[in-house]
Structure 1
């Protein structure tokens, strides 16, 4: 018998779930995340769940991995040193953006847009221009590309992103510029927007391409290390990577399009929620994953997770299909603190896996949500993480004592305050993606999972007036279960350039769809998927003439 293992890396714990080829066993386990080298934590989890199931690790056929490598690189700004090449006159594209302040900064002058991933001195221009139909107005000036390559060489860039105006209609200039740059830098990954995000809106397309270049070297190194460990320790097991759209993909694809792997772990939780809802006649769900570091909110309607092409990662817009997630810094490890005005706050900073909450006995001293729940008796200190850990109630009380002293209350009252504040933060987060979008939560179930989710679920659902709060089986590893029920998925886009229904040629539209379908078949055939296992879905971005934004419709 063979086995599949799903591994979801979180900020505090790495979760693993094992199932057999007959689907009769489901074994779950949690091990500490290893921030210094997350591949260690992944392999620790794989061996731990195999041991718990009593199986030989070399009988594992596939490891499905929800990675936080890209997400962490964006949060910590530890991605590659990128050079950006764009059309002459548009060097400041990433700086100018949409000339809009963040929504949360509407009345707060201290809030600003995140800085671009590429500083201005590494944003260079190539002389070329296409018109709005893709026709060449100014041929590509190759010496200008060579000149940019010289600057990139002096700057020591580790990856290059290329985004020319209207290249989604005609990629000829981008492809030629990429060929010139590849000749100069054969060892570097070069991302071009007509491959990464061939859609209109130049700022979002450019930002997506830059982000892909920023993350691909980091993701490539991580996956190379992990693949090597898997070959050495598991033999012929296949490694699959979860994408932000909720589907899985090959390692080769994840290396080339690393931007698609950001937030892949949280996406697995929403996929699991939709799967659970369909099986249990709950088609309308708000899924919330409260782990040690973050609180991930997803929406399921009619049994399907909502996918958007107008998302953002860490405040930077992306133009690729992703599950519509809203993530805030509220988890079991979120740190409680008093601001200068004397008000109690919780998060967004977290004690994470190292050192963790004070009650973990790993050197943590700052008060966290987990410490507050231990003090209030909401967590059993003698049976934490299925009995694999014990918690130190005394350390939790000592961590919360300074908060209690500043507030002039008992430690128990301070702990209750911490719980109420983090609940308020989570309620506000849910309202942002539901009530503020006109969604009536009285028709929805709250499906709460993650290591800390069940402790807070009832309070949140009651406050929002929701129909019910549901805790699924194996809630602490529920996102990892979602990775097991995902399907291999590839999204293909072909821009039509302002096509109007009155002048649309059905034969040309059909050919565009067929070209994308054939590309998908070739990609999946290379991964040993037969035709009878492939499902093709056609979608179109449509809008009424004169509207600015479109709707994605089947």
Structure 2
């Protein structure tokens, strides 16, 4: 059926993954999806390939489609890949004299590497860190005026003699008074007009000089990452797109391309954050308020929590080995995706990931030159994937290449290829389960009260096993599971945040707090207006970070009350409840003062966006039709079992399937384990009861 012009908003969402570029097209009444191989080094080519394919499936052409598009959302791995591969710009850092070793010391943090504990990989070499005379005290009073000539000298040394291609400026206590830092940035921008200059106090004016400096460095390091995105935006405009693309950022909202270039580090978790946006839509349609998401993509397993109908968030933490401050959805990633490579370490132990075969050469079964066994190859050997019907039959897999790759792994372990493949499956599953258990324990919640939402290319093959491992009894597999992040890119609201450190005990002077909130609210409204959001489509919410006085870390709390003293004390009680839920009543000290560390103003802009639609009512007559069967290995050293195979496109809401069973869709396969029941709901989400 061709796309219906003018029937609702026409929205396109794209997610550029490590292996495939996914796209979703919605016209308000129908949804189409497509996948095309990601093109490393030429981001736009893979995006346009996928968009042309989805336009064809909708009965039109890309050139005819783009002028009708009211929303084009893009989730991109451009920044993620730069950080993960450590291929960013050479950065120079200018800081307060005497604090040049702040970043190299890294708060004493050490990370394991081949049996040793080493400092984390730095974004800036020590030789490119210079201090200049200036000083602001803890009250924001300027004690030493900035020596502007020394700033210019430092800039010349870093750029002209030490090879810096971007600069970051971060001074002590600048979040309270950024006069010196603003002056330094102005001097450097005038001296080097073609060099990106990032200011920690401008990007994120919050307490903790190390985290603030790291965020400035991340933005300077990734300043060149979006060149391909800018070229794509220009090409889309040339082809007829009338509204500029919106980029999904790590806070599960969208920003303009211009804002993305100003603050590229915000896009570091773009794809997984888009997945969380879509997961929220799926949970709301299913009436679920508490869920854990498991996104198994080509390179990683990404997990996040939905509690009380809202996504978990954090304001600082580790990002691909880098500790930094950054407002973002709370996402954890482990290197256990479909393209993760299996290898045997020096102790003869089987490992999976974090290295990935990516899109090129890809898993051995892709037939593009890859020879190393991956999780996808193991799934082919074990029978979970049909080599002749991959991606709906548009791409054939080389089953013999998969078997040969697993055989080579098995030879190093003294196993046959089937046991080697099962070992790869088990190691990948154990990595995912370990990450999930750790996060449930950290949050102090019982996994048995949660549902599991599986997404990504092969998430529906791992979701039921993960759920059983954790005691979760309900698993959801959305109709768009393998392209759910692309749907999220088309469904996210424009979202901007502004933060300001307060550092005062509750209750704070309401007048002081009101002044901070008013300033932040005005700034975030201006941000949304600059992104093209009409004033009537803007809503502003408040949040805060609270902690016990003199503790190291804080908890984020939604501030949905007033600012007077009574309201502040109610927020303190909310913090105590959250703290108790996470750490137990024994962790509470009666009467301990609570500190308001940071206030955040969150601006949301309503735009045209994709939404889940109910399936057209069709009577579910009898049992679903069985297409055939596939031999599947259900355990180590076992004989394969013939498992019935269903076509997901044939299923109707209300029809029941009892496992073991495989359900093939055009772009993914779902596994229903023995004894489990499965049915489609009215939004075509597959619900399993374990």
After TM superposition, is the score higher than 0.5? yes
* SS of aligned partner of 1:401: helix
Q: CA deviation at 1:111?
A: 4.1
Q: Determine if the alignment matches structure 1 residue 450 to structure 2 residue 459.
A: no
Task: Check conservation: 1:8, 1:479, Cα contact below 8 A.
Answer: yes
Q: 2:43 aligns with which of 34, 38, 45?
A: 38
* SS of aligned partner of 2:343: strand
Aligned to 1:252: 258
Q: Determine if the alignment matches structure 1 residue 16 to structure 2 residue 23.
A: yes
Q: CA deviation at 1:5?
A: 0.8
Q: 1:449-468 counterparts in 2 under 5 A? A: 449-468=455-474
Aligned to 1:159: 166
Task: Check conservation: 2:106, 2:119, Cα contact below 8 A.
Answer: no
Q: 1:344 aligns with which of 347, 350, 361?
A: 350
Task: Check conservation: 2:299, 2:335, Cα contact below 8 A.
Answer: yes
Q: CA deviation at 1:109?
A: 4.4
Hey, what's the Cα distance between the residues in 2 that align with 1:6 and 1:82?
A: 33
Q: CA deviation at 1:541?
A: 2.2
Hey, what's the Cα distance between the residues in 1 that align with 2:465 and 2:296?
A: 14
Hey, what's the Cα distance between the residues in 2 that align with 1:111 and 1:481?
A: 41
Task: Check conservation: 1:159, 1:217, Cα contact below 8 A.
Answer: no
Hey, what's the Cα distance between the residues in 2 that align with 1:27 and 1:229?
A: 22
Aligned to 1:57: 65
Q: CA deviation at 1:237?
A: 3.6
- Cα distance per residue 1:453-476 (max 9 Å; x no partner): 111111111111112222111211
Hey, what's the Cα distance between the residues in 1 that align with 2:334 and 2:53?
A: 30
Q: What's the TM-score, normalizing by structure 1?
A: 0.95
Aligned to 2:332: 326
- Report the CA distance shift for 1:268/1:111 in structure 2 as closer, same or farther (over 3 A): farther
Aligned to 1:471: 477
Q: 2:92 aligns with which of 83, 99, 117?
A: 83
Hey, what's the Cα distance between the residues in 1 that align with 2:554 and 2:442?
A: 20
Task: Check conservation: 2:211, 2:323, Cα contact below 8 A.
Answer: yes
Q: 1:394-433 counterparts in 2 under 5 A? A: 394-433=400-439
Task: Check conservation: 2:109, 2:120, Cα contact below 8 A.
Answer: no
Hey, what's the Cα distance between the residues in 1 that align with 2:400 and 2:17?
A: 27
Q: 1:65-104 counterparts in 2 under 5 A? A: 65-102=74-111
Q: 1:348-387 counterparts in 2 under 5 A? A: 348-387=354-393
Q: Determine if the alignment matches structure 1 residue 29 to structure 2 residue 38.
A: no
Aligned to 2:206: 199
Q: 1:262 aligns with which of 246, 264, 268?
A: 268
Greater CA drift, 529-538 or 229-238: 229-238
More strand by share: 2
Aligned to 2:131: 125
Aligned to 2:521: 517
Task: Check conservation: 2:342, 2:373, Cα contact below 8 A.
Answer: yes
More helix by share: 1
Q: CA deviation at 1:436?
A: 4.0
Task: Check conservation: 1:275, 1:303, Cα contact below 8 A.
Answer: no
* SS of aligned partner of 2:542: coil
Task: Check conservation: 2:121, 2:321, Cα contact below 8 A.
Answer: no
Hey, what's the Cα distance between the residues in 1 that align with 2:481 and 2:438?
A: 24
Unmatched runs of 5 consecutive residues or more in structure 1:
none
Task: Check conservation: 1:27, 1:49, Cα contact below 8 A.
Answer: yes
* SS of aligned partner of 1:542: strand
Aligned to 1:210: 217
Unmatched runs of 5 consecutive residues or more in structure 2:
560-690
Q: 1:96-115 counterparts in 2 under 5 A? A: 96-102=105-111, 109-115=115-121
Between the two proteins, the alignment pairs up a number of residues equal to: 546
Aligned to 1:186: 193
Aligned to 1:552: 556
Aligned to 2:669: none
- Alpha-carbon RMSD: 1.6
Task: Check conservation: 1:125, 1:144, Cα contact below 8 A.
Answer: no
Q: 2:445 aligns with which of 409, 430, 439?
A: 439
Q: CA deviation at 1:385?
A: 1.3
Task: Check conservation: 1:13, 1:30, Cα contact below 8 A.
Answer: yes
Greater CA drift, 409-418 or 393-402: 409-418
Greater CA drift, 56-65 or 199-208: 56-65
Hey, what's the Cα distance between the residues in 2 that align with 1:331 and 1:484?
A: 24
- Name which one, 1 or 2, has greater alpha-carbon Rg: 2
Q: 1:306 aligns with which of 312, 322, 338?
A: 312
* SS of aligned partner of 1:342: coil
Q: CA deviation at 1:374?
A: 0.8
Aligned to 2:572: none
Aligned to 1:223: 229
Q: CA deviation at 1:208?
A: 0.4
Q: 2:504 aligns with which of 491, 499, 505?
A: 499
Aligned to 2:599: none
- Cα distance per residue 1:99-151 (max 9 Å; x no partner): 1324x67xx84243322111011101110111101101111122221220220
